[in-house]
């Protein structure tokens, strides 16, 4: 976790794992709602492995209605 707000909510989360990059995922939250996900890895560590494809690349990638 890279930061918290005054209510203790996670502001962003970095994931580390078996890739050529040291950080492979960056998750940004607003309160307890997912705001955006970025894949920062350039290659997968495993042949034919599944990976997240970030096709949007916007500041707010997820929207919520009044029910959350």
Q: What angle do CA 15, 19, 22 make, to 5 degrees?
A: 55
Average pLDDT on 20-44 reads 73
Average pLDDT on 29-41 reads 79
Q: Which pair of structure tokens corresponds to residue 43?
A: 């290659």
- Domain of residue 22, residue span: 3-39
pLDDT score of 21 more than 60: no
Query: Is 31 within a domain?
Result: yes
Burial group, residue 24, by CB count within 10 angstroms (0-12, 13-18, 19+): buried
Query: Is 48 within a domain?
Result: no
Instruction: Please give the pLDDT value at position 11.
Output: 79
Instruction: Please give the pLDDT value at position 22.
Output: 54
> Into how many domains does the chain fold?
1
Query: Is 29 within a domain?
Result: yes
Instruction: Please give the pLDDT value at position 23.
Output: 56
Query: Is 58 within a domain?
Result: no
6, 42, 67 from 21: Cα distances, Å: 31, 7, 37
């Amino acid at each position: 976790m890279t930061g918290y707000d005054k209510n203790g909510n996670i502001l962003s989360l970095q994931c580390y794992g078996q890739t050529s990059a040291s950080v492979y995922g960056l998750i940004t939250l607003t309160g307890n709602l997912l705001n955006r996900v970025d894949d920062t890895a350039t290659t997968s560590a495993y042949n034919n492995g599944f990976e997240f494809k970030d096709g949007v690349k916007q500041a707010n990638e997820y929207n919520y209605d009044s029910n959350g």
